Structure 1
Amino acid sequence: MRTNTAINYQQYFEKGISFEEYLKRFAAEIALGEGSPFAQYLPQNWQRQNRLIRKIKLNEDLQKAIDDLKQPVNWLLITEHWCGDASQINPVILKAAEESNGKIDLRISYRDENEELIDAHLTDGRSRSIPILVQLDENYNLLNTYGPRPAEAQLLVMDLLSKGEDYNIPLHTWYAKDRQKAIQEDLVKLIESAV
């Protein structure tokens, strides 16, 4: 569990946006075309994310973990439109929140606009990798975090980086083969940590 008592999570959660608003802002950034510094990443991430939003189905274990939640939890998702991992992971997080019947309240916070927040959740104590899902109780106390990607995918990325190789294509090939199974397994563990 990652803890940081100096962060006012309630403040970040309350100023967070809905997933619907996130999608509207994503579409608006794509419409900027070359006016966005991340124009090269946005269309593919948009397409990948929306395909998964339409087709993702929760597995039985994840649905059971959600159903077994006794207390509501708040999920604060730190992300950005340009992030390839986010396009693979965020749709699963959205679906889990939607299928929770109000037990999971999901809000989005942009990494680049909230440096204090992401700096409290650095990957390996040094990297501002995203997405990071912060799980809070009903009083906005930190329970646990998840991210930036499943452990097997993280090992793949770290191995390729250590060799000076690009990881984009191998990583998204891994996601395609995994079909969001590892993400769902990780979310089961995250939710069960709140029970």
Structure 2
Amino acid sequence: MRALVLNCTLKPSPEPSNTDQLAAVVVDALRREKVEVEQVRLVDLTISPGVSTDEGSGDEWPSVHEKLLRSEILVVATPTWVARPSSVAQRMLERMDAMLSETDDDDRPVAYNRVAGVVVTGNEDGAHHVISEISGGLGDIGYTVPGQAWTYWNKGPGPGPSYTDTAEGHDWSAKTGRTMAANLVAVAKALAENPVPAPG
């Protein structure tokens, strides 16, 4: 089984990413479940605006699309900015919109029988809103989002330290992240045994 983690941080590599640090908890838990995990920091790529799988010369989204099709599990990791997903996460969803019109050999949308979850960090509140925004978009595209397929960390209302600046709340976020990984694997296995049929 394969998982793809799309980190939607605004920080290019090798700059440390708070979102990457919390996503690592989920990655470790997935690997303990014998899942092969690949991680991509989207801001490191040239991803053109648009809603097709390939927007032409210089566009690096097609390589991400191929990774999505090779993965049964998708984890979207994003920071919170003004109580919303990052602009990188929004562009990711816009590009994934093309998957709505792509089908597999059984005439099912290509996102069917794949599961997805969300990791969110931010030093102010808004994580639940971000989780619902990303989960709703992925559900529209065809992914199955299991119950409690998310984890987040924030400092609470008002500005404050970032995830890597404090140990406060890490235990809860890590425990929730491990549960997230277990739920993603359990539902992915269930869908492999009993796949969702083609629409209509």
TM-score w.r.t. the length of structure 1 is: 0.39
TM-score w.r.t. the length of structure 2 is: 0.38
**More strand, by proportion:** 2
**More helix, by proportion:** 1
Larger RCO of the pair (alpha carbons < 8 Å, separation 6+): 1
